[in-house]
Chains A and B, each alone.
Chain A
Amino acid sequence: MSELVSIHEVSIGVDSPIVNDLNLTIEPGERLGLVGESGSGKTLSALSLAGLLPGNVRLLKGVISIHIPGNMIQIPGATEKQLLQLRRQSLGFVFQEPMSALNPVMRCGDQLMENLKLGGKRSEKLRQSEALSWLNKVRLPNPERVMRAYPHELSGGQRQRLMIAMALCNKPKLLIADEPTTALDVKVRDVVLDLMDELCRASGTALLLISHDLQMVAQRCQTIAVMQNGICCEYGRAEDLVNNPKHPYTKALWACRPNPEHRLIPLPTVKEIIAGGKMDYEQFSESAWTLKGEALRRHPALLKARDVHFSYGSTQILRGVDFDLYPGESLGILGESGCGKSTLSRIICGLESIQKGTMSYRDGESYLPLEQQDRMWRAQHIQMIFQDAMAALNPNHRVGRILGETRKHFFPGETSADRKAVLMAMMEKMDLPTDGLDRFPHSFSGGQRQRICIARALLAEPRILICDESVAALDVSVQAQILNLLHKIRTEGGVSFIFISHDPKTVHYFCHRVLQMEKGKFIDHG
């Protein structure tokens, strides 16, 4: 018995396979990374280990064998009792969304103690003390309070620590972490991953780390499997995958990440790299990029914000924000969640009214205070693209109606034939199928939906486009496509960007100038 888990020729799917002929092994104490974009089947592969496949998704063929002390469990073939025992004692799970992965109406302590009980701790007192010691081990501040708290009273990072405690408290043989830090702030990510690493090492627990982030996985794991469309296309030691990726898809995953030190515009996309075709990428050196930004700033500013304050009740969200936005410029705003960047964007486009300070917009020679403009004027000049494209589109309206509505609103004089032509041209420009106008948002992919949102914003013919985490929820390959599209819009001219994100790489890659926001203020002008 050498390996802990062996996955042999496994296919998973409903009728046709979603995961195809997967072969993986995990040694005791090994750290294996499973990398792939959404829909590549990495989560299903992980769930199949515990017999947790959802709905009517089944193991179509192959065998998973898991060696646990004194026993070997084989799926398919394991009894329900064996599976329960496997989940209780030998496997630990940490899921992506710390917000929703904990039962909202059950106290944190009770949820943790439930795990301990399932792990065989019979005495209530013992469970209690053990739970407290685990909360200490995952370094949650004030464990006594956390025991009694409900999940919504903890921050995202704290919840994920609790999940880790729940997953590890029965000393499992394997910890399965499915995108454990994707939903967390950049700063918290490393801390949580370090903690997970440390605890796994301490107890000799093997780790299966699932992520779309190849770089993060490469730093943490000894072996990596890259999955694309349900097929494991490369499987090997982490160093080899980093230094010498063999499969074009692995190469593409490395290349399509926005990288400010190696600024390629447009970004190579996965499709292009796999096709082998070389596009004409323009590489900007840091100095050339700075020069370009400075040239833009020679013109008078388009939007001036001075000493902007905002508070919800007694909580101060913005405490004196100043910035200028120049025509054609892309201004990045970088900050953690809760720093006030989204509130600022809502104020700029008029969804919240400014409480103190001024925001003025250049009109010809003079500056007009924004709050004196009517809603219609503001909405036309300043448009916004949100993070969650699915939530931003009305699921009951056809795309043609969603887009047409904007156009009709701002250009009421247009005849319907003209409008139709404008919409068709826009669909083409956004690289969306032309029959898409008659379809509903749910029939599009995530990237296409975000393009619909961009199209909707552009149809108003705005001067300022605010992108609030617009690429944060997208896979790297789609992210590259959207960034390229935004760049294309930028080069056509006439639009200034305010690009808001928590991801420094993307912001520095895309923007001429980046402002860092912390606790409602810009801390450094660069």
Chain B
Amino acid sequence: MRKNLKNTTYTFSVLLGVVSLVFFLFTVLPGDPARMMLDQREDSETLEAVRKKHGFNLPIYQQYLWFLNDLSPIGWHSSDPEHVSAHQNRPVLVVFYKASSGHFLLKWPHLRESFQQQGQRVNSIIGRVLPNTIILALAAMTLALILGITLGVISSIRPGSILDHTITLVSTLGMSVPSFLSAIAIAYLFGFLWSSYTGLPMNGTLVEWDDWGESKRIAWENLILPAFTLGIRPLAVITQLTRSSMLEVWQQDYMRTARAKGLTLRQQALRHALPNALNPVITSASGWLASMLAGAVFVEYIFGWNGLGKLIVEALDTLDLPVVMGCVLIIATFFVFINFAVDIIHAKLDPRIKEKQ
């Protein structure tokens, strides 16, 4: 119970810290948001109106408080459509309390509007690309975990054998090739040169219009190459980590007990060694997963995958601060929750950890 409270407080303060840091970082950046929103039109009256509507004329601390109010799932919002916190524009879920001046409501965290894309909501901009990123990251990670653990276990069984050397060599190669290079190579080779054999396209995103532009369809085949490319480096790292962790476990006394019981090599490896070797692998995999959820800029760019990484780069390019801010917040949330999940998995894998907590 106390641990839960501690964890919740921790999560909350990390998120608050990120929010504040992002907010103050972007307020000191140069650029007039009102002007950006109005597409350089020099109309002082309209400018003033926009400033007022978005609260850019308020002192920083007030802007900060309204910003937090927008992000918080529970908040107060004015019923005046011209007010900074007008509820009309918010993704409302439940209204708790209605008054003439405003509403007290439960809502999705509101990330405000994009400066550049004609006032589109950042929520919906991110909402469009987020599933793509999550699917790509999960696919890449699943691939890396399954293949990496399998290869690591195989190569740990007979260290020093030709098979082990081959696996180690290939995974070192995989670790050292930068993803922009492997992305281009893979897209060219499998998506272009041999595409008649593989049947895979060079680029494309998850949801595509069909050839007549009439209906959308989910193009799973577009996922294969980017997921594979993105998975190469974690795959290599996981292979080597599993291998070294397994090698250590093989030396343990309980593995001698397992041998003495009369278990086959396969039973020893899968039932006794692997569960003991997984913890460092999970730690490293979680880090990779979190950073893949933050978007894989190169891979997304080269394969034309419509994901978070591509969105961030475009937003930074055009100084679209609300979009950048929204992305950063989403990424921070991912990191926090993955850490959370990893703690739980660790305790599941190793009962001794639960004891210590």
Contact = CB atoms under 8 A, between A and B. Distances in A.
B276 interface: yes
Nearest to B353: A105
Give the size category of B's interface with A: 20 to 34
Given A104-B276, A105-B351, A114 B261 contact: yes
Contact of B355 (A100, A152, A163, A166): A152
A104 B276 CA distance: 8
Nearest to B253: A100
A101 B261 contact: no
Interface in A108-167: 114-115, 118, 150, 152-153, 163, 166
Contacts of B264: 84
Nearest to B348: A105
Given A84-B264, A95-B253, A97-B253, A104 B259 contact: no
Nearest to A86: B262
Contacts of B263: 114, 118
Contact of B261 (A87, A152, A153): A87
A315 to B, nearest CB: 15
Contacts of A89: 262
Contact of A101 (B256, B275, B352): B256
Contacts, number: 68
B103 interface: no
A101 B257 contact: yes
A66 to B, nearest CB: 14
B352 A103 contact: no
Interface in B232-277: 252-254, 256-264, 271-272, 275-276
A100 B264 CA distance: 21
Contacts of B351: 104-105, 150, 152
A102 B254 contact: yes
B272 A101 contact: no
A246 to B, nearest CB: 34
Contacts of A225: none
A85 interface: yes
Contacts of B254: 100-104
A88 interface: yes
A151 B102 CA distance: 60
A100 B350 CA distance: 14
B125 interface: no
Contacts of A114: 261, 263, 271
A83 B259 CA distance: 11
A101 B252 CA distance: 8
Give the size category of A's interface with B: 20 to 34
Contact of B276 (A52, A86, A103): A103
A106 interface: yes
A77 B299 CA distance: 56
B261 A88 contact: yes
A466 interface: no
Interface string B274-287: 01100000000000
Contacts of A326: none
Contact of A104 (B260, B261, B271, B350): B350
B278 to A, nearest CB: 9
Nearest to B251: A54
Nearest to B275: A105
A85 B262 CA distance: 7
What 5 A-B pairs have minimum CB-CB distances, sorted nearest first?
A87-B262, A88-B262, A100-B253, A93-B260, A150-B351
Interface of B: 252-254, 256-264, 271-272, 275-276, 349-352, 355
28 contacts: A52-B256, A52-B259, A84-B264, A86-B262, A87-B259, A87-B261, A88-B261, A89-B262, A93-B260, A95-B260, A97-B253, A101-B254, A101-B257, A103-B254, A103-B258, A103-B272, A104-B254, A104-B276, A104-B351, A104-B352, A105-B349, A114-B261, A114-B271, A118-B262, A150-B352, A152-B352, A152-B355, A166-B261
